[in-house]
Amino acid sequence: MTRIIFCLFCCFAGLAACTSGEREVVLLHTNDSHGGIFPFDSLGGMAERAALIRRVRDSFPGEVLLLDAGDFNTGQAVSNFFKARPDLLAYNYMGYDAATFGNHEFDQPTDTLLMQMRLADFPFVVSNVTYQGQPLGKPVLVREVNGIRVGLFGIVTTGTARRSIFGREVAFAPEEEAARRAVEDLRREGVDLVVGLVHLGLAETFPGALTSPQLAERVPGIDVLVDGHTHSYIEEPLRVGRTWIITASHSGRYVGRGRLFFCGTRFTGMDWHPLPVRKGVESDTALSRLLCPYVDALDRVLHFGIGVAEGDYPVEDRGVNLVRNGENALGNLVADALKWQADSLFPQVDFALINSGAIRAGLRAGTVTAGDLLAVLPFDNSLEVVAMRGKDLLRLFAFYAALAPGSGAFPQVSREVQAVFDRHAGTLERLLLRGQPVDTARIYHFATCDYVASGMEFAGTGLDTCMARHPSPVKIAEALAAYVRAQGRVRPATSGRLLLQGEGVHQ
């Protein structure tokens, strides 16, 4: 079993006896920025992040290494609309030294990612991804900071191939194998420190997924893993053997700061903390001016009122993703919108469902704009109707019941559905449609998005082969906007559509 030690003190071993000169490298890092151009709930914002990074650079001149562990794509509307151009402009301005990819870099065609790579003034280090037989990015990279040769490698979860629509356009090597090869290459180059930028997460996101603690346990020679993917907030670094593991929440809310100590060129320990990026403390006005043309252009296109929300629709509470852990008011709104839109396009639709991972932001009470709804559903997914026999529908909901807490595959459903999951046992206890048990012989039709209909969530279960697909030209964000406009006013509510027995939630 992986043994994870939460550090309760800073490791300064060997510094007192150092006779070859003490040195320091300050490692700043972010992950899962997800188009976080503006603050949300008083945290985050690119201009605010830039001001914080500048303060650290001023305090440690010539000693800072700035890294990102992936998923800069897919989030706020201004980022989505311009395909992360403003994000990369901000990253260039802040002086990032290197980044790796996350799974959401593959939400769009690979040509889009290649364009983004050309826009970046910094390299992408990716050790386990190839495109058309060639490395997509640099397999390894060496940076010298304050006289210390830092070797970098990057790993993207191989789950991207089955869970991102365009993840199948590239080839993913097994994470452990690629990391081992990269570390050996860097050690042969004589680096003083090996840092892995890994988009794996601290916990499994699907059965069998490799986590960063497991990678640290299995691959020797790694000094630091800068992690992303699970949006985890930690207050102390993790240790697995001699490897430190650090991560910094998501959406640019925090910047991780690690002070890495050296005796000569020998790494001796680290003092690490998450630094909150607080709205209203200080922002970089020059970066704000650079981003203004994008913001103004989006305002002209998207910031018109569509309807009114009579209350908040939160998607997170104290670090817990509410949409991925049970019935959620915003999930209900989205599923009802898909059902409503599908009813106008198809002769028979029994209900609607959507994967909770598609829902990326909440709504605030007040006027709802098109930009707000694009932030809720930022993926370029289309509405589809799927036909499935009742016996397979029961298998589908049994699959959902067995998911690990916090899975992005967890469903949100329309008002026609009532399901009872035993989360402790991982079993489906009851499934009713319009108050009636499912007829195993009948064919049912449900509205969803093309991602769910593609079967990627269910690869290896057999469910991906028993769904008949009926596509439509309507985007799911358009369906949500049309529904909110038709309703005029929407009120957040839950109604017992998904009842969970037992315990267990996860970020």
Map 269-293 to HEC letters.
EEEEEEEECECCCCCCHHHHHHHHH
Closest of 245, 271, 269, 242 to residue 259, by C-alpha: 271
pLDDT tens-place string over residues 319-376: 889 999 999 999 999 999 999 999 999 999 999 999 999 999 999 999 999 989 998 9
302: its two tokens: 């998207």
Phi-psi region of 456 (alpha: psi -120 to 50; beta: other; left: phi over 0): alpha
pLDDT tens-place string over residues 52-64: 999 999 999 999 9
In a shared domain, residues 286 and 308: no
Q: Count the domains in the chain.
A: 2
pLDDT of residue 503: 61
In a shared domain, residues 242 and 320: no
Please give the residue range of the domain that contains residue 278. 10-290
Q: Is the pLDDT of residue 394 over 60?
A: yes
Of 261, 290, 319, at which residue does a domain stop?
A: 290
What whole-number distance in Å separates Cα of residue 254 and Cα of residue 96?
Answer: 15
**Residue 398 in domain:** yes
199: its two tokens: 């988009």
14: its two tokens: 């060997």
**Residue 177 in domain:** yes
In a shared domain, residues 202 and 309: no
Q: Is the pLDDT of residue 300 over 50?
A: yes
pLDDT of residue 189: 97
Q: Is 165 helix (H, G, I), strand (E, B) or coil?
A: coil
In a shared domain, residues 127 and 264: yes
What whole-number distance in Å separates Cα of residue 383 and Cα of residue 478?
Answer: 9
**Residue 270 in domain:** yes
In a shared domain, residues 173 and 120: yes
Q: Is the pLDDT of residue 261 over 50?
A: yes
In a shared domain, residues 329 and 245: no
Of 290, 312, 327, at which residue does a domain stop?
A: 290
In a shared domain, residues 351 and 428: yes
pLDDT tens-place string over residues 472-507: 989 999 999 999 999 999 999 999 999 999 765 444
What whole-number distance in Å separates Cα of residue 446 and Cα of residue 463?
Answer: 14
437: its two tokens: 């048990």
In a shared domain, residues 319 and 281: no
CATH number at residue 390: 3.90.780.10
pLDDT of residue 400: 95
What whole-number distance in Å separates Cα of residue 38 and Cα of residue 150?
Answer: 32
**Residue 494 in domain:** yes
In a shared domain, residues 148 and 94: yes
Confidence of residue 17 (pLDDT cuts 50, 70, 90): low
**Residue 3 in domain:** no
pLDDT of residue 318: 82
In a shared domain, residues 276 and 410: no
How much is the pTM? 0.78
In a shared domain, residues 353 and 261: no
**Residue 298 in domain:** no
Of 259, 290, 321, at which residue does a domain stop?
A: 290
**Residue 111 in domain:** yes
pLDDT tens-place string over residues 165-200: 788 899 999 999 999 999 999 999 999 999 999 999
What whole-number distance in Å separates Cα of residue 222 and Cα of residue 240?
Answer: 10
Q: How much of the chain, in percent, has pLDDT values that exceed 90?
A: 79
pLDDT of residue 427: 96
Q: Is the pLDDT of residue 439 over 60?
A: yes
pLDDT of residue 204: 84
Q: Provide the residue count of the chain.
A: 507
pLDDT tens-place string over residues 114-162: 999 999 999 999 999 999 999 999 999 999 999 999 999 999 999 998 7
Q: How much of the chain, in percent, has pLDDT values that exceed 70?
A: 95
In a shared domain, residues 374 and 443: yes
117 and 137 in contact (C-beta within 8 Å)? yes
What whole-number distance in Å separates Cα of residue 349 and Cα of residue 369?
Answer: 28
CATH number at residue 200: 3.60.21.10
pLDDT of residue 4: 40
**Residue 295 in domain:** no
Confidence of residue 1 (pLDDT cuts 50, 70, 90): very low
Q: Is the pLDDT of residue 424 over 70?
A: yes
290: its two tokens: 């650079």
